[in-house]
Amino acid sequence: MIGIRCKGDTTGADKLAAISRGRVCGADRGLFDAIIEVVCEDDDDLLDLLKPPQIRALPGVISPEKLVYRRNVSSNTIGYKMTTK
């Protein structure tokens, strides 16, 4: 997950939604103006996504913050199957 602070409104969320590694993108109010769930191959891939010309270069983006979780413990997404090891 990447939480993104934007200046002005969240019209940049449309551009975030177009990121190839993005799965779910939502406009929000609170600590972050937009949140995007991404799937990356490894840590380097995630870091490359955060720096220009990717997320940081989008108009209106003030700062992205990566939110990494190690294990998913629940999901309310329809059709999503959780696997455990």
Closest alpha carbon to 15 in 50, 60, 47: 60
Q: Comparing 2-6, 57-61, 76-80, which segment has the lowest mean pLDDT?
A: 76-80
Task: State pTM to two decimals.
Answer: 0.69
What is the token pair recorded at 2?
Answer: 């990447």
* Helix/strand/coil for 6: strand
Instruction: Please provide the CATH number assigned to the domain covering 2-66.
Output: 3.30.70.920
The one-letter amino acid code at 46 reads L
Region for 9 from its dihedrals, namely left if φ exceeds 0, alpha if ψ lies in -120 to 50, beta otherwise: beta
What would the pLDDT profile of 31-63 be if each residue is shown by its tens digit? Answer: 888 888 888 888 898 888 888 778 888 888 888
Query: Domain-by-domain residue ranges, the chain?
Result: 2-66
